[in-house]
Structure 1
Amino acid sequence: MRTVELLLDPELDRRVRALWARLHAAGVRSLATHPHPTNRPHVTLVVVPSLDALPPLDLPVPVSLGAPRMLGRALVLPAAGLHDLQARVWSAVGSDNPLHAPDRWVPHVSLALNATPGSDTLLSGLPPLTGAAVAARSYDRETRTVTGIPHRPAG
């Protein structure tokens, strides 16, 4: 299975990593400690068996990361501004993962997986973080490798 992921601009990436570090310092097992070299802040658009039908992605696209919240057992920053792009990708690649269906998809950047309830209060009062998704990649879950996804300038 392959993902289609959006990568954040350098400043937004840095700010998310700072939150990972802040959570880790508070005793939350955040993504700051995830050892795999491909670990970085991102938004997953879809998970599919093949990228053959993937349309060109128009990037950069503005992104606003909202107040931390729990999404299942994950502590995340919800991401706004990506639904149209995700719906186009979903329609083109024919994903059968219901969690990535446009009407159910919750765009987000993960901060901590398997977080305890209430972990979001450690970051209460955090103002929205704004920036852009500037690049795309695909993570191959079988080989645990990433490849860049070509994109064209937006607008």
Structure 2
Amino acid sequence: MTSAVTDAARTAHAAAATLIQKSLVKPGDKLPTTETVKEDSPTDVFALGLTGKNLIVGVPGAFVPLCTGMIVWYDRLREKGIDEVFVVCVNDAFVVSAWRDSLAPDGTPVRFIADDQGAFVSSLGLLEDTTAVLGTPRARRFALVVKDGVVENVILEENSNQVVNTHASKVITLL
């Protein structure tokens, strides 16, 4: 019985990821401004309706390996004209806050954003089926350079288990 329920859940998660997926974001697209993401509080939703030049980095989830680069490289990103850095993952606000605090116990200007239902990531066309490893659909690894709410650059990883194209040192060369 457990196997049948597990198989059904995996199939449902994969189907959901496919059904809610939008077309892939591209340069020139406006960033979605619906209020779906959270920071620190599970009840306070807001939109990433951004002004200035910002970097939005998507990761598969909190506490997954290879996700400290934006904190380490923050000052260099600012020197290259980035106003704010957002790290977005499909997890709840409690987990995302705990993750941020574990990475930067003394605080960080990098903003860690919870997309607990995957709505924001899905609106970008960047939700992928990771049920085999993470149990639910999650964000594909990506980096977006956004100026005044308009996407300027889309950087994707071919394999979300690796950080090659979206490593901060590589993103800096594209700014």
TM-score between both structures, scaled by the size of structure 2 = 0.29
More strand by share: 1
Greater gyration radius: 2
More helix by share: 2
The higher relative CO (CA closer than 8 Å, separation ≥ 6) is in 1
TM-score between both structures, scaled by the size of structure 1 = 0.32
